[in-house]
Structure 1
Amino acid sequence: MKISICTVAPETFEGFLQGKVLQRAVRNGALSLELIDIRTFAGGSFRHLDDNTFGGGTGQVLRVDPVVKAIEAAKGGDPDAYVAALTPRGQVFSQKMARNLAELSHLVLVCGHYEGFDERIYHHVDGMISIGDFVLTGGELASQVVTDAVVRLLPGVLKDEATQDESFETGLLEYPQYTQPADYHGDKVPEVLLSGNHAAIEAWRKEQARLVTEKFRPDLLESDRKE
């Protein structure tokens, strides 16, 4: 899979690109990742990326011309490239969406900045993604969230079983997990997990996943019933 990220702040990805899972994906050929610096497509000696809002208003708006040029460069003529803008008006990102995006051959993520996108930029994307109902300085962090969630689902990046029981994969939160010590000042690991009875352990985990979801995210159970 190829992921292209269009951004006005490529320097903010330095630490992210050093992540072990990301590097493993690149190393084993599961992922090709590139950063497209939108600023290189801005005209004029000052390479202006933003400008005042027509009709008045506060803040600067990201110009359409350099962003669309960056998108086209990222696509590179690939007819299968799927372009998604990171924006508050987008569909809220979920594990299900991550799985769908992981099936793509080429994903182009476009990061907003300043006061937002010139509306005409949306005419050049295939979809929009939001990571939640809050405002960030730019879409760079959001693009990293999406990339991380997608890359770990690519074949060969993690062991297949490593993602099967994770939160949201079954519509439930993940069951409680424990490690050493088995007894921490009287706070003990449930006996069933020490029993060696795999059927009993599996049944306990399924029940606990349901109880944890019921307690902390009952909305997930409601959504499951509606579907």
Structure 2
Amino acid sequence: MTPNFIYLTLFPQYFHNYFQISLAKKICERKLLAYQVYNLRDFAVKGQVDDYPYGGGAGMVLKIEPLVQALATIQETYPDSYLILLSPQGKTFTQNDVPRLLNQAPNLQISLGDFITMGGEMPALTITDALIRAIPGAIQEESYQQETFHNSQLDFATYTRPEIYNGLKVPEILLSGHHQKINE
């Protein structure tokens, strides 16, 4: 089954732009992934999606009505979908979460770490980027299996030409042509 990524955002162009470049574009063209973007403003009265918080304080808070209406519409259109909420209170996202999220994880909250961004678009795209690499056929299986953090391992150092750069030399074993020893 082709994964279908659905985004609810105030800034749809982030997602449309992302899926027009690089690997994300190729994966969509090869029909290995589908995506939809919903603009939260479409579910708000006069497009107003936020308001001042009760009790005062700086900033604005998203209104509940457009969120509930948008999520209900998405759930009605895609009844087998599940929700990932990006939240500072969520479980920190790791590479170990990738297969679970691709295989219909339950609704959950995810955090990318202890920092704040201007919105959820960049964190959502970071998670998307990690997920699409794991879609079968997206990249070579061998490449995915040997990537850093796959199976909780750090990747080995990788070298390319020239053989010597600024006094640093590629290890002799990598130049030997002895594949078994190189794999070890």
Which residue of structure 2 aligns with residue 128 of structure 1? 109
What is the CA distance between 1:37 and its match in structure 2?
0.3
CA contact (8 A) 2:86 2:123 kept: yes
Which residue of structure 1 aligns with residue 156 of structure 2? 175
Give me the whole-angstrom Cα distance separating, in 1, the residues matched to 2:100 and 2:121.
21
Which residue of structure 2 aligns with residue 13 of structure 1? 15
Is 1:25 the counterpart of 2:27? The answer is yes
**Paired residue type of 2:144:** T
CA contact (8 A) 1:4 1:35 kept: yes
Q: Which moved more, 1:187-196 or 1:67-76?
A: 67-76
From 167, 171, 175, give the equivalent of 1:194: 175
Write out the 4+ residue segments of structure 1 that deviate beyond 3 Å after TM superposition.
76-79
CA contact (8 A) 1:6 1:74 kept: no
Which residue of structure 2 aligns with residue 152 of structure 1? 133
Q: Deviations over 1:100-124 (max 9, x none)?
A: 11223xx8xxxxxxxxxxxxxxxxx
What is the CA distance between 1:22 and its match in structure 2?
0.9
Give me the whole-angstrom Cα distance separating, in 2, the residues matched to 1:40 and 1:128.
24
Is 1:88 the counterpart of 2:88? The answer is yes
Give the CA RMSD over aligned residues: 1.7
From 3, 25, 46, give the equivalent of 2:5: 3
Which residue of structure 1 aligns with residue 72 of structure 2? 72
Q: Deviations over 1:35-73 (max 9, x none)?
A: 110000001xx3210011122222111011111222222
What is the CA distance between 1:75 and its match in structure 2?
2.6
Give me the whole-angstrom Cα distance separating, in 2, the residues matched to 1:147 and 1:185.
37
Give me the whole-angstrom Cα distance separating, in 2, the residues matched to 1:146 and 1:24.
18
CA contact (8 A) 2:96 2:152 kept: no
Q: Which moved more, 1:16-25 or 1:157-166?
A: 16-25
CA contact (8 A) 1:22 1:151 kept: yes
Which residue of structure 1 aligns with residue 145 of structure 2? 164
Which residue of structure 2 aligns with residue 111 of structure 1? none
What is the CA distance between 1:14 and its match in structure 2?
4.3
Q: Structure 1 length as normaliser, TM-score?
A: 0.75
What secondary structure does 2:47 align onto?
coil
Q: 1:13 to 1:81 in 2, by over 3 A?
A: closer
Which residue of structure 2 aligns with residue 110 of structure 1? none
What secondary structure does 1:76 align onto?
helix
Which residue of structure 1 aligns with residue 41 of structure 2? 39
Give unmatched runs, 5+ long, in structure 2: none
Q: Structure 2 length as normaliser, TM-score?
A: 0.92
What is the CA distance between 1:165 and its match in structure 2?
1.1
**Paired residue type of 2:43:** F
Give me the whole-angstrom Cα distance separating, in 2, the residues matched to 1:79 and 1:152.
25
Identity %: 34
Q: 1:145 to 1:26 in 2, by over 3 A?
A: same
Give me the whole-angstrom Cα distance separating, in 2, the residues matched to 1:23 and 1:17.
5
CA contact (8 A) 1:7 1:37 kept: yes
Q: Deviations over 1:139-183 (max 9, x none)?
A: 000110011110111011111111111111121211000011112
What secondary structure does 1:82 align onto?
coil
Higher relative contact order (CA 8 A, sep 6+): 1
Number of aligned positions between the proteins:
182
Q: Deviations over 1:55-100 (max 9, x none)?
A: 2222111011111222222233433211011111111111111221
